[in-house]
Amino acid sequence: MSSMTENREGSAHRGAPGPYMAGIGHVVALELKQRLRSRGWYIMLAIWFALTGLVTWLTWASWSASNAFQRDFGDVSGAGSTGPGSLIFEVVLAFVLLFALLVAPALSANAVNGDRAGGTLAILQVTLLEPGQILWGKFVAAWAAALAFLVASTPFLVIGVALGGLTPAYILVSLVMLAVEVGIVCAIGVGISALAGRPLFSIVVTYLAVAGLVVGTLISFGLGTGLTQGTALANNPQYRAYAPLQSEPMDAGYTCAGPLREQSAMHTERVAWTLAMNPFVVVADAIPYPDRTARQNFTSIGAIEGISQAARQAMAGPEGTTPCANGKVQPTYLGQKTPLWPLGLGLQLVLSGLLMWLGWRSLRTPVRKLPRGTRIA
């Protein structure tokens, strides 16, 4: 009889996600109650708000100072025509992403083993909660706590958008991408915290993982490029005389002539996936920017656009970037047609998903294997 009740419960589970989601909701409530009552979180949030405000103000101040300087000295070629908006927006966005990546491990990487050390994890495990519910609950709570930091920086991003005359889509996409990146770091942190015995260790490992994504991807791309030495078929570019007023929009400024020959080239497309995993690349590449291939005389492209373009150049490889590869003139500017961020985000999701799965395995009870030197309670 009792096994029948169990079966009924089990199938109810699989059929309707109701009770399962409700369990996650209860864990999130428990976690958030604790977080909302710790003063440290509010202090961090206040510091964050002040710091983002300071960065916004400094960016604006430095822009207006240089603008005033250029006006006084009659320099007309400067950035004066573009307005401060896109600059402020980009600086604030990069800053928010950097600091969100630094804050997220602190909010997530002791979620499970901190409770284990405090003796409260086993109390959850002994209830009807399933390991997945505990893990998802912890992840959602950590993510929500980290998202509060993004919400605190939204006013400054809005200022940037408003001053620069950018579209609301801009801010929407960038906020969504920031939230996703923070979520990925939180998932990595929660997964590692379920695997590692001690909170200090898991926090350090999560910071290293973030450093790996931010810096390590650049280093491995740089070093990996050296291993991609190869050749590409190309003929010779013939550069025209410099004639700025006659040049077509986004003209490469050369024509191709002569026989195709093997030329040495770096096949960066083979290692570009490491670059794609960089959170800055993912965010920069996902943000839409105006298609400039058909527009004339833009003075400078922003940092975000620059990152995106550089990453796409790496992805295109010599076939797409070597002048006169296969005898064709290459555009110096790649359009939005080959986005890189789905690949990067996919790889990040695989990494964080793997860590969450391993974490879920370690939360199953009754426990068969315990890590050395840890107690379940």
Partner 1 sequence: MAIISEQPGGQQVPDGGITAQGVSRSFGTVRAVDHMDFHAPAGKVTALIGPNGAGKTTLLLMLASLLAPDQGTITVGGLDPVRNRAEVRSRLGWMPDTLGVWESLTAREILTQMARFYRLPASGIAPRVTEMLERVRLTGLADQPARVLSRGQQQRLSLARALIHDPSVLLLDEPASGLDPGSRVELRTTLRQLAAEGKAVVVSSHVLSELDEIADGAVFVNNGRTVRQQTTEEAAAAGRRYAITAADTTALAAELARLGLEFRREEGRRPGVSLVLHNEVGAERLLRDLVLAGVGIRSFAPAVGALEETYMNLEGERR
Question: For binding to partner 1 (CB under 8 A), which residues are involved?
Answer: 2-3, 5-6, 9-10, 19, 23, 26, 29-30, 33-34, 37-38, 115, 118-129, 365-368, 370, 372, 376-377
- Provide CB contacts within 8 A for 354, sequence distance 6+: 191
Instruction: Compute the least distance from the CB of residue 12 to partner 1, in Å.
Output: 11
- Which CB sits closer to partner 1, 127 or 255? 127
Instruction: Compute the least distance from the CB of residue 364 to partner 1, in Å.
Output: 9
Instruction: Compute the least distance from the CB of residue 365 to partner 1, in Å.
Output: 5
Beta-bridged to residue 132, according to DSSP, are none
Instruction: Compute the least distance from the CB of residue 360 to partner 1, in Å.
Output: 15
> 212-244 burial by CB neighbour count: b if 16+ within 10 A, else e?
bbbebbeeebeebbeebeeebbbbbbeeeeeee
Instruction: Compute the least distance from the CB of residue 111 to partner 1, in Å.
Output: 13
- Which CB sits closer to partner 1, 7 or 231? 7
Contact, 161 vs 130, CB < 8 A?
Answer: no
Can you say how many angstroms the Cα of residue 300 is from the centroid of all Cα atoms in its chain?
24
- Which CB sits closer to partner 1, 29 or 172? 29
- Which CB sits closer to partner 1, 3 or 77? 3
- Which CB sits closer to partner 1, 2 or 297? 2
Q: How far is CA 292 from CA 128, 138, 309, 332, 334, in A?
A: 57, 44, 12, 11, 9
Contact, 341 vs 286, CB < 8 A?
Answer: yes
User: What's the token pair of residue 176?
Assistant: 């969504």
Instruction: Compute the least distance from the CB of residue 359 to partner 1, in Å.
Output: 17
- Which CB sits closer to partner 1, 96 or 129? 129
Residue matched to tokens 């490469």: 252
